[in-house]
């Protein structure tokens, strides 16, 4: 059965050299004693955000061409705040850079105190073995009130789990490899994804097209 | 004099609108973006100056109404205001573009900290300007300060220009990089040279070098020609000072960055490498100075065996016989070469007892290498060694980038080190991790200091 790592095991793995297959990296760590719970470690909110951009199209089509078009970069330095309006979302990241070893999976959870303000930080909380990077957080304010987020404050907890019979991947994964800021999503075109399961035709919606008076040149 | 008054009113209104726009622009940018402290101080200065300028414009119109004889004086005041604000105008937009998303903020914070640690430079700060040119440039801040004091003589209660504030322009394309931005250290050298008036220290050595090498040919020159000779030597001496200053403060990363940029500009290996121009000594001379200082500070033995071409290039350029250096007025070359020791001494006195950083590099290089090779931000060892990790990061990471990038690319699934796009993506990540490590070190140091106090 998979087991959740204790604070002692987390500490042991944090102390291993980075070349060790079992090594766990979480950096920067300000005060390990304060950050560690019996079975989890606190993570802080980073200073960069991707705010949703108002699209010129009346819909969002996640395809290859859309990469990087959904968001606007924002930097909020330590000491300043970001206002998340009610029912709005933003991509953020952890301040900590994380590297999981080959035999651990992780899950990031909203800190309970934060969750009780109706801020949700993760909708894809699972972290695969050998992942490295600052974790992108899909932050949603599901309350009816605007909320201030302060970079540097604890926002989530990382729970680590030992995998049964893990397979050591000889290479590091290339998707979302080592980001230090929130990364926008990457997509293939819908047809590329669907052709893998035998679909050969995909319906799409064209973007807005200008309408001109008859006889007028555009 | 109704015509003169309406003319003054029209002119004052035009200046008011001009100033008003610039202030609103600064205000808007400050609320929309994040800037370093230096830029914020500059914008605050501009906004405050704008307020006093606008008040002053109304006051001269009011006074002109009651005393039209003074209109010519007010016109002179307006001319001064226009000239100074036109100068400020040049700086505002590039400074507004230099927000934290366009600049390597943690690296700049580290540089400012290094600058502040130098003798007589506590509190010195740099406003980063974003330039369309593919080059780095320090704007002469004393010129801007001159305009500011001219304004404060004209406009009552105008704010004082922030002290020890430098202006350095970086190419817009290099904003997010770390390695090429090591060239900012050269521009910091210009700032230091100007701020501490190092030219004055060199004047005697310049005159003596000219007299010794040119003898009668110099003494028989007219006043203007002598001044031109001294000025030309001072320009080359300042450039050399800035190179050596940058090398001292940042290590061989500065030499590597110079080669990277010169290569990007297509200026490496050209026949011009031995030619002086009116602004710079030849690359061959500059790299010979790099080579000498790198040897003196023990760096050379550590970088000599790198597989990248950079150390070889430094050595080759440094080996060019000074007799091959060329200039339109060849007689000036030996006089300039006489100045070498004086420039080196000047750098030494400027940096004080600052450690050139080799010991830190020696302690941390393999650790940083190991982290980067495993795709990890190299900040986990902060505070665990004898030497500060931050000081070694740039050089260690630059060496990794030059020598071991392919090794890292090979370790990443689906990537091939012979594919340029893949190399480029991983190189970008190595720079990002270096930047993050610098930021982490800064945060961790601040945390330790707060715990200690």
Whether B143 and B268 share a structural domain? no
| Interchain contact, B433 vs A180, CB within 8 Å | yes
| Interchain contact, A177 vs B34, CB within 8 Å | no
| Interchain contact, B375 vs A132, CB within 8 Å | yes
| Interchain contact, B415 vs A17, CB within 8 Å | no
Whether B373 and B318 share a structural domain? no
Using CA atoms, how far apart are residues B46 and B27, in angstroms rounded to an integer? 10
Per-residue tens of pLDDT for chain B, all 453 residues: 458 899 999 999 999 999 999 999 999 999 999 999 999 999 999 999 999 999 999 999 999 999 999 999 999 999 999 999 999 999 999 999 999 999 999 999 999 999 999 989 999 999 999 999 999 999 888 888 899 999 999 998 899 999 999 999 999 999 889 999 999 999 999 999 999 999 999 999 999 999 999 888 888 899 999 999 999 999 999 999 999 999 999 999 999 999 999 999 988 776 788 999 999 999 999 999 999 999 999 999 999 999 999 999 999 998 999 999 999 999 999 999 999 999 999 999 999 888 999 999 999 999 999 999 999 999 999 989 999 999 899 999 999 999 999 999 999 999 999 999 999 999 999 999 999 999 999 999 999 999 888
Question: Which of B156, B173, B189 marks a domain boundary?
Answer: B189
Which ipTM did the prediction report?
A: 0.91
Active site residues of A: 138
The C-alpha of A136 sits at a distance from chain B's nearest C-alpha, in angstroms, of 15
* Test the B interface: residue of A180, A186, A188 with most B CBs within 10 Å: A180
Whether B255 and B344 share a structural domain? yes
Whether B391 and B427 share a structural domain? yes
With contacts defined as CB-CB under 8 Å, which chain B residues touch A31? 447
Question: Which of B318, B351, B384 marks a domain boundary?
Answer: B351
Number of domains into which chain B is organized: 3
The answer to whether B380 faces chain A, any CB pair under 8 Å, is yes
Q: Which of residues 101-120 of A touch B (CB under 8 A)?
A: none
Whether B243 and B153 share a structural domain? no
Whether B410 and B389 share a structural domain? yes
With contacts defined as CB-CB under 8 Å, which chain B residues touch A97? 376-377, 379, 433, 436, 440
Whether B279 and B201 share a structural domain? yes
Whether B36 and B156 share a structural domain? yes
Q: Which of residues 384-413 of B touch A (CB under 8 A)?
A: 411-413
Domains located in chain A, CATH noted: 3-195 (2.70.40.10)
With contacts defined as CB-CB under 8 Å, which chain A residues touch B433? 97, 178, 180
Question: Which of B156, B189, B222 marks a domain boundary?
Answer: B189
The answer to whether B382 faces chain A, any CB pair under 8 Å, is yes
With contacts defined as CB-CB under 8 Å, which chain B residues touch A35? none
Whether B36 and B143 share a structural domain? yes
Residues 6+ apart with CB under 8 A from A203: none
| Interchain contact, B380 vs A25, CB within 8 Å | yes
Whether B209 and B181 share a structural domain? no
* Residues of the domain holding B295: 197-351
| Interchain contact, B375 vs A77, CB within 8 Å | no
Whether B7 and B151 share a structural domain? yes
Whether B138 and B174 share a structural domain? yes
């Amino acid at each position: 059965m998979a087991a959740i790592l204790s604070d002692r095991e987390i500490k042991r793995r944090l102390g291993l050299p980075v070349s060790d297959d079992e090594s766990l990296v979480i950096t920067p760590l300000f005060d390990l004693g304060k950050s560690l719970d019996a079975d989890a470690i606190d993570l802080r909110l980073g200073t960069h955000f991707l705010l949703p951009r108002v699209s010129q199209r009346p819909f969002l089509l996640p395809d290859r061409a859309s990469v990087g078009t959904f968001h606007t970069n924002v930097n909020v330095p330590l000491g300043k705040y970001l206002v998340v309006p009610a029912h709005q979302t933003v991509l953020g990241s952890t301040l900590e850079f994380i590297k999981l070893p080959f035999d651990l999976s992780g899950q990031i959870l909203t800190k309970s105190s934060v969750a009780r303000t109706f801020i949700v930080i993760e909708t894809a909380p699972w972290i695969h073995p050998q992942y490295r990077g600052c974790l992108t957080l899909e932050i949603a304010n599901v309350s009816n009130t605007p909320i201030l987020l302060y970079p540097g404050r604890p926002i989530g907890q990382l729970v680590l789990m030992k995998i049964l019979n893990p397979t050591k991947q000889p290479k590091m994964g290339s998707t979302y490899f080592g980001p230090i800021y929130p990364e926008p999503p990457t997509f293939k075109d819908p047809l590329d994804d669907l052709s893998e399961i035998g679909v050969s035709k995909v319906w799409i919606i064209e973007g807005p097209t200008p309408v001109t008076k008859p006889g007028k040149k555009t | 004099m109704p015509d003169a008054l309406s003319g003054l009113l029209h002119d004052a209104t035009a200046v008011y609108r001009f100033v008003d726009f610039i202030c609103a622009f600064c205000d808007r940018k400050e609320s929309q973006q994040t800037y370093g402290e230096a830029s914020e101080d500059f914008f605050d200065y501009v906004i405050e100056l704008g307020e006093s300028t606008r008040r002053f414009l109304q006051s001269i119109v009011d006074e002109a109404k009651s005393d039209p004889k003074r209109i010519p004086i007010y016109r002179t005041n307006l001319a001064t205001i226009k000239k100074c604000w036109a100068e400020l105008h040049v700086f505002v937009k590039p400074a507004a573009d230099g927000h934290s998303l366009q600049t390597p903020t943690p690296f700049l914070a580290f540089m400012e900290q290094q600058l502040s640690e130098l003798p007589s430079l506590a509190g010195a700060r740099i406003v980063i300007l974003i330039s369309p040119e593919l080059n780095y440039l320090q704007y002469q801040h004393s010129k801007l300060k001159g305009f500011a004091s001219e304004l404060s003589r004209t406009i009552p209660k105008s704010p004082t220009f922030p002290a020890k504030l430098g202006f350095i322009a970086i190419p817009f394309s290099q904003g997010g990089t770390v390695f090429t931005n090591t060239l900012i250290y050269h521009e910091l050298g210009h700032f230091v040279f100007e701020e501490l008036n190092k030219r004055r220290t060199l004047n005697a050595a310049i005159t003596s070098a000219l007299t010794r090498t040119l003898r009668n040919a110099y003494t028989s020159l007219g006043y203007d020609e002598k001044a031109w000779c001294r000025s030309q030597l001072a320009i080359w001496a300042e450039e050399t000072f800035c190179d050596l200053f940058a090398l001292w403060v940042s290590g061989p990363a500065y030499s590597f960055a110079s080669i990277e940029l010169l290569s990007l500009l297509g200026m490496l290996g050209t026949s011009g490498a031995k030619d002086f121009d009116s602004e710079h000594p030849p690359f061959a001379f500059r790299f010979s100075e790099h080579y000498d200082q790198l040897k003196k500070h023990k760096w050379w033995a550590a970088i000599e065996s790198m597989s990248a071409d950079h150390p070889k290039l430094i050595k080759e350029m440094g080996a060019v016989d000074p007799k091959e250096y060329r200039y339109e007025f060849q007689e000036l070359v030996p006089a300039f070469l006489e100045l070498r020791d004086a420039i080196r001494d000047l750098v030494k006195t400027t940096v004080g007892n600052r450690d050139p950083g080799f010991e830190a590099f020696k302690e941390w290089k393999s650790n940083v290498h190991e982290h980067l090779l495993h795709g990890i931000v190299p900040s986990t060892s902060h505070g665990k060694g004898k030497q500060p990790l931050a000081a070694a990061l740039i050089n260690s990471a630059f060496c990794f980038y030059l020598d071991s990038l392919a090794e890292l690319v090979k370790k990443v699934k689906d990537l091939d080190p012979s594919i340029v796009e893949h190399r480029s993506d991983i190189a970008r990540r190595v720079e990002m991790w270096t930047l993050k490590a610098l930021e982490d070190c800064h945060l961790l140091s601040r945390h330790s200091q707060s715990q200690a106090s």
